[in-house]
Amino acid sequence: MGALEGTRIVLGVSGGIAAYKAVEVCRRLVDAGAHVTPVLTEGALHFVGKTTFDALGSERAWTSLWDEDRPIPHTHLGQTADLIVVAPATARVLGLYANGISEDLLLNVLIATRAPVLVCPAMHTEMWEHPAVQDNLALLRRRGVHVVEPGVGRLAGGDVGAGRLAEPADIVAAAEAILAGGGAPARDLEGLRVLVTAGGTREAIDPVRFIGNRSSGKQGHAVAAEAAARGAEVTLVTTTGLPAPAGAEVVKVESAAEMESAVMRRAGEADVVVMAAAVADFRPVQVADRKLKKADGAPQIVLEPTTDILAALGADRRPGQTIVGFAAETDDVRTNAVDKLRRKGIDLIVANDVSAPGVGFEHDTNAVAIFDVDGGVNEIPLSDKRAIARGILDAVIELRSKQ
């Protein structure tokens, strides 16, 4: 059974444009086995419909203290909940909650409960950075409220900045961690700088075509999200358009050369480097400046090797730095992975058999074996990629504890 199986969760939805993501949070919580009771504020109803949550939740959605048959609903909901999740949590809700003002049903439930509370802020950058909002969050944290930090990305109105609601998968993962261990994810990476790469590089042939691979970047993004949730200062160098993990700085690149430049500029300051990206081994020597036409015949493409970024990191590492590589294999996984671990001069290698069902590229799941330089191995069976990310970072923490 998963951590959410059989639990009762109140899902509070407040009035921000990010309320549409709460629909997916609700679905994921129910799919994980939780009994989900949606509670929508009046503001939320301007963005999402009650009927949607009636259909997706485990019971009909609540919207008011006054229009329901059951008396004192806030007391009932607060007392029976195992966890209360507020997604999105607007600046208004955070301020009222911090000051104990029971303005509507959701605030009454929050104040009336003794269950753990997880708030997921979402708002425009200027609001998120306002001292009053940050003071309210700091007060709530001191009282034991758990927080899933917002990400950096595109916001309503076309702006880009901090304040974007965390992705539903990250919110559900935080709920699982709270209910599994009685607290938020361990902050065991606090004070560490973690550099993660993700996705497959594209090596241009002409302005239209490229040489690439099947990497989706999902595993690298999961590692970055998990590292940020565990307190690290995270930089993610990625080729993908996947949403930015909450709390991570994102650097977009495309080619192996761009990834090399971005990684090597930042690696010296990183305590941990996780090279989850699938970097091309070769690139065309010449790139056509116009689209090649079929009528011109098959092009003769001459390839040259790209820089081995992982080997360069291993050769130039600074003392105390931990470097993790990946090996996507289709046969003789152990031999190939251990050989790569030793040749590259790194600390850990995460190997998988990408020919196996549900493993590796483009899937939401993975199964890996993590090898270390001392000959140890930790095998993680088929799991979602966030669980794989937890296993990888657990191995990093264990290794660093021995240094």
Per-residue pLDDT at 162: 79
Same domain assignment for residues 129 and 216:
no
Same domain assignment for residues 253 and 378:
yes
Query: Could you give the CA distance from residue 348 to residue 126 in angstroms, rounded to a whole number?
Result: 41
Query: Could you give the CA distance from residue 28 to residue 175 in angstroms, rounded to a whole number?
Result: 11
Query: Could you give the CA distance from residue 266 to residue 67 in angstroms, rounded to a whole number?
Result: 56
Residue 101 lies in a domain: yes
- Range of the structural domain that residue 226 is part of: 193-401
Query: Could you give the CA distance from residue 235 to residue 250 in angstroms, rounded to a whole number?
Result: 6
Mean pLDDT, to the nearest integer, of 165-178?
Answer: 90
Please give the single-letter amino acid code of residue 395. Answer: A
What is the enclosing helix (H) or strand (E) of 328? strand 322-329
Mean pLDDT, to the nearest integer, of 303-311?
Answer: 97
Q: Count the neighbouring beta carbons within 10 Å of the beta carbon of residue 2.
A: 12
Query: Could you give the CA distance from residue 163 to residue 150 in angstroms, rounded to a whole number?
Result: 5
Copy the structure tokens of residue 287.
Answer: 């790139």
Per-residue pLDDT at 229: 80
Same domain assignment for residues 63 and 18:
yes
Mean pLDDT, the chain, whole residue set: 91
Same domain assignment for residues 159 and 290:
no
Please give the single-letter amino acid code of residue 232. Answer: A
Copy the structure tokens of residue 153.
Answer: 């990305």
Residue 188 lies in a domain: no
Same domain assignment for residues 293 and 381:
yes
Tell me the per-residue pLDDT of 341-378, one tens digit each, with 9 for 90 and over.
999 999 999 999 999 988 988 888 899 999 998 889 99
Q: Is the pLDDT of residue 160 over 80?
A: no
Asked if residue 366 lies in contact with residue 391, where contact means CB atoms within 8 angstroms, the answer is: no
If one compares 370 and 242, the residue with the highest pLDDT of the two is 370
Residue 206 lies in a domain: yes
Q: What is the dihedral angle through the alpha carbons of 253, 257, 259, 265, rounded to the nearest 10 degrees?
A: -120
Residue 187 lies in a domain: no
Mean pLDDT, to the nearest integer, of 114-138?
Answer: 92
Residue 3 lies in a domain: no
Q: Is the pLDDT of residue 104 over 70?
A: yes
Residue 371's DSSP bridge partners are 349, 377
Query: Could you give the CA distance from residue 121 to residue 378 in angstroms, rounded to a whole number?
Result: 36
Residue 157 pLDDT class (50, 70, 90 cuts): confident
Query: Would you call 270 exposed, middle or buried from its count of C-beta atoms within 10 A (0-12, 13-18, 19+)?
Result: buried
Mean pLDDT, to the nearest integer, of 1-18?
Answer: 90
Query: Would you call 210 exposed, middle or buried from its count of C-beta atoms within 10 A (0-12, 13-18, 19+)?
Result: middle
Residue that terminates a domain, selected from 137, 152, 181: 181
Q: Where are the alpha helices (DSSP H) in 38-72?
A: 50-56
Same domain assignment for residues 161 and 227:
no
CATH number at 396 reads 3.40.50.10300
Q: Is the pLDDT of residue 199 over 70?
A: yes
Same domain assignment for residues 289 and 176:
no
Residue 174 lies in a domain: yes
Same domain assignment for residues 167 and 208:
no
What is the enclosing helix (H) or strand (E) of 261? helix 256-267
What is the enclosing helix (H) or strand (E) of 221? helix 218-229
Q: Which residue has the tokens 């086995």?
A: 33
Residue 2 lies in a domain: no
Q: Is the pLDDT of residue 184 over 60?
A: no
CATH number at 18 reads 3.40.50.1950
Per-residue pLDDT at 362: 81
Q: Is the pLDDT of residue 161 over 60?
A: yes
Number of domains making up the chain: 2
Mean pLDDT, to the nearest integer, of 220-240?
Answer: 92
Query: Would you call 190 exposed, middle or buried from its count of C-beta atoms within 10 A (0-12, 13-18, 19+)?
Result: exposed
Mean pLDDT, to the nearest integer, of 216-220?
Answer: 94
Same domain assignment for residues 26 and 139:
yes
Catalytic residue among 99, 108, 136, 213: 213
Listed range (15-24, 164-173, 239-248, 377-386) with the worst mean pLDDT: 239-248
Residue 16 lies in a domain: yes
Mean pLDDT, to the nearest integer, of 318-343?
Answer: 94
Query: Could you give the CA distance from residue 392 to residue 326 in angstroms, rounded to a whole number?
Result: 11
Question: What percentage of the chain reaches a pLDDT higher than 90?
Answer: 72
Q: Where are the alpha helices (DSSP H) in 105-235?
A: 105-112, 125-128, 131-142, 168-181, 218-229
Same domain assignment for residues 297 and 206:
yes
Residue 275 pLDDT class (50, 70, 90 cuts): very high
Per-residue pLDDT at 98: 96
Same domain assignment for residues 111 and 211:
no
Mean pLDDT, to the nearest integer, of 316-321?
Answer: 93
If one compares 246 and 263, the residue with the highest pLDDT of the two is 263
Question: What percentage of the chain reaches a pLDDT higher than 70?
Answer: 97
Q: Where are the alpha helices (DSSP H) in 286-378?
A: 309-316, 333-344
Same domain assignment for residues 170 and 203:
no
Residue that terminates a domain, selected from 181, 205, 221: 181
Q: Is the pLDDT of residue 185 over 90?
A: no
Residue 218's DSSP bridge partners are none
Query: Could you give the CA distance from residue 188 to residue 349 in angstroms, rounded to a whole number?
Result: 21
Query: Could you give the CA distance from residue 235 to residue 270 in angstroms, rounded to a whole number?
Result: 9
Tell me the per-residue pLDDT of 278-296, one tens digit each, with 9 for 90 and over.
999 999 999 999 999 999 8
Residue that terminates a domain, selected from 147, 181, 215: 181
Tell me, yes or no, if 378 is annotated catalytic: no
- Peptide bond before 88: cis, by omega within 30 degrees of 0? yes
Mean pLDDT, to the nearest integer, of 265-278?
Answer: 97
